Amino acid sequence: AKLLAAAAAEEGAETTPGGVVVKVLEEGEGLYPTAASTVEVHYEGKLADGTVFDSSYSRGETTKFPLNGVIAGWQEGLTLMKEGSTAMLTIPSEMGYGEQGAPQGRIPGGATLAFKIELIKIISSGSETRGLVA
């Protein structure tokens, strides 16, 4: 909860209806993906104590996936990012892996997650939009 509160207090941070805090670090020029889009990203995920539990950077290659196949926090956060953007997403456990945690025990139950995500490319659309209507 402290991690979420601190992230939400940062200048320029936006909190989604699901409680995901999105802070754009570098604004891209492209379109916004939708939940139906397939995207290419670089990312690093950390626990509240700073432990990195997953990183495409450390593997040296980007990751591609349909947004409707990932955790709800990514779906909600990435649809607020333009193609080419880099942002920090701080995700409450209920929008992440919940009380059960993640496979292989890398993410404990109830964990708030912090992801640095670089939205490199929208591979297939599912019809991009110009952002959410407030």
Cα(70)–Cα(49) distance, rounded to whole angstroms?
A: 23
Confirm whether 97 is a catalytic residue. yes
Could you say which of 32, 57, 71, 120 is catalytic? Answer: 71
Confirm whether 120 is a catalytic residue. no
Cα(19)–Cα(17) distance, rounded to whole angstroms?
A: 6
Could you say which of 32, 49, 53, 107 is catalytic? Answer: 53
Planar angle of CA 24, 11, 9, nearest 5 degrees = 110
Could you say which of 91, 107, 115, 117 is catalytic? Answer: 115
Q: Are 28 and 85 in contact (CB under 8 A)?
A: yes
Confirm whether 71 is a catalytic residue. yes
Confirm whether 65 is a catalytic residue. no
Identify the residue whose tokens are 């297939």: 124
Confirm whether 107 is a catalytic residue. no
Cα(134)–Cα(123) distance, rounded to whole angstroms?
A: 26
Could you say which of 43, 107, 120, 122 is catalytic? Answer: 43
Could you say which of 32, 91, 97, 117 is catalytic? Answer: 97
Active-site annotation, residues: 43, 53-54, 71, 97, 115
